């Protein structure tokens, strides 16, 4: 698809410096820009590429001031990174809008329904009594179990598995290989040392504008719902256990694991490999650094937490009792040194 710079500036709410009639047909990194492409400059570390790039146009922020001459056209917007993100979203939506209809072979139960402008890829499976909204895209080899509801504009990529009774809101994205609604880890220990399976009869609910990364798993609730609130963004290879609640606009990076019945507040940030024990509550606006283990509730909003090293449990507990008081101990030592 080809657009003039004037058209793109209109989409982005920006202005063109240069020739507004020139056209672009692809997106490039600024350091790799070629004629016919558009790039962006948001990080000052990449400014040098502006003076070398062959891209037809570069998106920059309104307050950007060039230090050298350049050959490309500029599109000035309020924020360059946000502007380019908007452009990527528009590009993706245009591509997906072209996906309409049904590829065969595929299965769609007679009791299910799908809104207009939808797409079902080859070898996809849609179970009984499902309700799929307008513009829903189901890529090839995706599995949708019985009684699943999917809101308008949501996209289920290839190979994703959506178990029965799952509810997915509008404008959600489920990436390849994700599993939504599999059984939670529920096993009751028996007197003979074996474990008895506890049936998981709840479901998973994803509110609007949720993104689930590739190969991420979200377990169905034992009873009730595992709940992912509006605007949550979850990376690849994350595990969310049964009955977990994730608050609005929280972001979770790869390889994080959240144990059963834990509640995460809104606007939290969980970096890679975070581990959170079960039945905890994490206050809103909490930031948790990579490889951090959380084994107790965080009750105060806005905290930043980091660090957890494995060692013998008894040794760790004794060491931690000292470690958490090191600041006070240091002050006491300094006071004693002054007296001495």
Mean pLDDT score of the chain: 93
Domain identity same for 209 and 166: yes
pLDDT of 319 reads: 81
Domain identity same for 89 and 126: no
Total domain count, the chain: 2
Domain identity same for 75 and 89: yes
Percent of the chain with pLDDT over 90: 81
pLDDT of 340 reads: 66
CATH number (domain holding residue 79): 3.40.1390.10
Q: Distance (Å, rounded) from C-alpha 338 to C-alpha 169?
A: 64
> Containing domain of residue 69, as a range?
3-97
CATH number (domain holding residue 121): 2.160.10.10
Residues marked active site are found at 242
Of 137, 210, 217, 200, which is closest to residue 172 (Cα–Cα)? 210
pLDDT of 89 reads: 83
Residue 117 has pLDDT above 60, yes or no: yes
Q: Distance (Å, rounded) from C-alpha 278 to C-alpha 171?
A: 30
pLDDT of 311 reads: 57
With contact defined as beta carbons under 8 Å apart, do 140 and 174 qualify?
no
With contact defined as beta carbons under 8 Å apart, do 260 and 244 qualify?
yes
Q: Where are the alpha helices (DSSP H) in the chain?
A: 5-12, 47-50, 80-97, 313-323, 326-339
Where does the pLDDT of residue 309 fall: very low under 50, low under 70, confident under 90, or very high at 90 and above?
low
Q: Which of 134-143, 156-165, 318-327 shows the lowest mean pLDDT across its residues?
A: 318-327
pLDDT of 324 reads: 81
Q: Distance (Å, rounded) from C-alpha 313 to C-alpha 319?
A: 10
Domain identity same for 85 and 132: no
Where does the pLDDT of residue 183 fall: very low under 50, low under 70, confident under 90, or very high at 90 and above?
very high
Element (H, E) at 138: strand 137-138
Where does the pLDDT of residue 262 fall: very low under 50, low under 70, confident under 90, or very high at 90 and above?
very high
Domain identity same for 112 and 86: no
36 found inside a domain: yes
The residue from 97, 132, 164 where one domain ends is 97
pLDDT of 318 reads: 83
pLDDT digits (tens, 9 = 90+) for 205-230: 999 999 999 999 999 999 999 999 99
Percent of the chain with pLDDT over 70: 98
pTM for the whole thing? 0.81
Q: Which of 121-130, 233-242, 249-258, 328-337 shows the lowest mean pLDDT across its residues?
A: 328-337
Domain identity same for 63 and 187: no
Domain identity same for 29 and 118: no
The stretch 56-79 carries a mean pLDDT of: 95
Where does the pLDDT of residue 93 fall: very low under 50, low under 70, confident under 90, or very high at 90 and above?
confident
């Amino acid at each position: 698809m080809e657009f003039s710079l004037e058209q793109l500036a209109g989409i982005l709410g920006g202005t063109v410096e240069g020739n507004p009639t020139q056209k672009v047909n692809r997106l490039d990194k600024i350091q790799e820009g070629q004629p016919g492409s558009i790039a962006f400059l948001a990080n000052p570390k990449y400014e040098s590429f502006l003076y070398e790039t062959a891209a037809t146009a570069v998106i920059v922020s309104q307050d950007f001031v060039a230090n050298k001459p350049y050959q490309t056209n500029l599109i000035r917007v309020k924020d360059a990174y946000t502007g380019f993100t908007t452009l990527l979203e528009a590009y993706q939506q245009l591509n997906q809008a072209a996906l309409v209809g049904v590829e065969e072979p595929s299965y769609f139960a007679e009791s299910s329904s799908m809104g207009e402008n939808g797409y079902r890829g080859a070898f996809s499976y849609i179970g009984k009594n499902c309700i799929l909204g307008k513009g829903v895209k189901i890529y090839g080899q995706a599995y949708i179990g019985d009684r699943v509801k999917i809101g308008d504009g949501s996209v289920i990529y290839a190979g994703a598995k959506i178990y029965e009774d799952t509810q997915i809101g509008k404008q959600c994205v489920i990436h390849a290989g994700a599993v939504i609604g599999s059984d939670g880890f529920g096993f009751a220990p028996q007197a003979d040392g074996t474990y008895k399976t506890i049936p998981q009869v709840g479901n998973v609910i994803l509110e609007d504008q949720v993104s689930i990364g590739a190969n991420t798993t979200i377990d169905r609730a034992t009873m009730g719902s595992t709940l992912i609130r509006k605007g949550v963004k979850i990376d690849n290879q994350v595990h969310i256990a049964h009955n977990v609640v994730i608050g609005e606009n929280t972001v979770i990076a790869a390889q994080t694991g959240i144990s059963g019945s834990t509640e995460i507040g809104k606007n939290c940030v969980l970096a890679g490999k975070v581990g959170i024990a079960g039945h905890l509550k994490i206050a809103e606006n909490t930031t948790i650094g990579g490889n951090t283990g959380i084994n107790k509730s965080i009750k105060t909003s806005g905290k930043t937490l980091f660090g957890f090293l494995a060692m013998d449990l008894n040794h760790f507990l004794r060491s931690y009792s000292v470690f958490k008081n090191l600041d006070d101990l240091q002050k006491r030592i300094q006071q004693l040194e002054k007296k001495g």
